[in-house]
């Protein structure tokens, strides 16, 4: 499998700030002053309003899909917006229902409802071809969206992709632990990535998630796919990215493993790698047009 070659961004040197922000040094009108997109809301009939930030620009656009319980204001999302703005490319980031600034109750969310959120935003706000960038659970939703909207999805970048993860991780637990969770109606998951050190997943959530599992058969995605994963990821094993690579039908798939990378992939070098990967894909897609 081909390796991704890291290089300077073709449009100029890349500047990564200490908080993960990205800018290109060369741009005259960038002026070193960071702009931030405006927080907006979009309404849906009988569904919670979704909060989003959008930068209009050239195609392909970039759509960022955050992880479970996360939001659109993380370092990766903001860095991608800054990068897209500096190139003049469109960028869309948003919060799923029950997340961040969006309406809705988090505990009522499912993989299915959040998939509908993604498809709605792609249909209503993402103009033209898109590169979908999914982090953790967002990587799972990214794959589901690519299957549902192949005409709009021109490339994928998965970061610590958690395809099927809730379901498969629960099934690997000892049977007595699973029985206890089923009796209580919830599964408590430990993690180092949030202050509380744990979060809960309901049995109803897991049962619904089974309807969206994709790793048991070929995945009908044929666009370029890039999968970035850290070998130190203690939340989502890196071999899930390997499984995704084996299942997708695309002939153009690269896996990039970070030796010291952790689940969040939010260190300066992690963000630099993500941006370089997207830049490479924009170059590839633009050349093909």
Q: What pLDDT, on the 0 to 100 scale, is given for residue 166?
A: 96
Is there a contact between 230 and 158 (Cβ–Cβ < 8 Å)?
Answer: no
Asked if residue 282 has a cis previous peptide bond (ω within 30° of 0), the answer is no
Give DSSP secondary structure letters for 179-219: HHHHHHTEEEEE-SSSTTSEEEEEHHHHHHHGGG--TTS-B
* Alpha-carbon gap, residue 189 to 205, rounded angstroms: 14
Beta strands in the chain (DSSP E): 14-16, 22-24, 40-44, 47-55, 58-65, 89-94, 130-135, 153-159, 186-190, 198-202, 225-230, 253-258
CATH class of 40-288: alpha beta
The catalytic residue positions are: 136, 233, 263
Mean pLDDT by 10 residues, the chain (289 residues): 39 46 42 70 95 97 96 95 96 97 96 98 97 98 98 98 97 96 94 81 97 98 98 96 98 96 93 96 85
Phi/psi at 262 (5° precision): -110, -175
Asked if 263 and 251 touch (Cβ cutoff 8 Å), the reply is: no
Per-residue confidence (pLDDT) for residue 257, from 0 to 100: 96
């Amino acid at each position: 499998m081909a390796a991704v070659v890291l290089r300077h961004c073709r449009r100029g040197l890349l500047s990564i700030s200490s908080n993960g922000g990205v800018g290109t040094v060369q741009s005259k009108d960038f002026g070193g002053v960071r702009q931030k997109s405006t927080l907006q809301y979009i309404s849906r009939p009988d569904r919670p309003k979704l909060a989003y930030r959008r930068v209009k620009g050239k195609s392909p656009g970039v759509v960022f899909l955050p992880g479970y319980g996360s939001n659109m204001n993380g370092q990766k999302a903001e860095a991608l917006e800054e990068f897209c703005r500096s190139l003049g490319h469109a960028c869309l980031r948003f919060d799923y229902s029950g997340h961040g600034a969006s309406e809705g109750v988090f505990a009522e969310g499912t993989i299915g409802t959040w998939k509908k959120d993604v498809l709605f935003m792609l249909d209503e706000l993402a103009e033209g071809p898109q590169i979908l960038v999914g982090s953790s659970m967002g990587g799972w939703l990214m794959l589901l969206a690519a299957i549902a909207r192949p005409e709009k999805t021109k490339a994928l970048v998965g970061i610590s992709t958690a395809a099927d993860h809730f379901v498969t991780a629960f099934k690997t637990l000892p049977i007595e632990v699973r029985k206890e969770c089923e009796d209580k109606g919830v599964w408590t998951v430990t993690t180092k990535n949030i202050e509380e050190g744990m979060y809960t997943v309901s049995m109803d959530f897991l049962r619904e998630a089974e309807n969206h599992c994709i790793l048991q058969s070929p995945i009908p995605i044929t666009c370029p796919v890039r999968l970035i994963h850290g070998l130190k990821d203690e939340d989502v094993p890196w071999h899930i990215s390997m499984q995704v690579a084996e299942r997708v039908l695309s002939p153009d798939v690269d896996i990039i493993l970070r030796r010291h990378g952790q689940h969040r992939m939010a260190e300066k070098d992690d963000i630099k790698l993500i941006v370089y990967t997207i830049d490479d894909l924009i170059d590839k897609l633009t050349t093909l047009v």
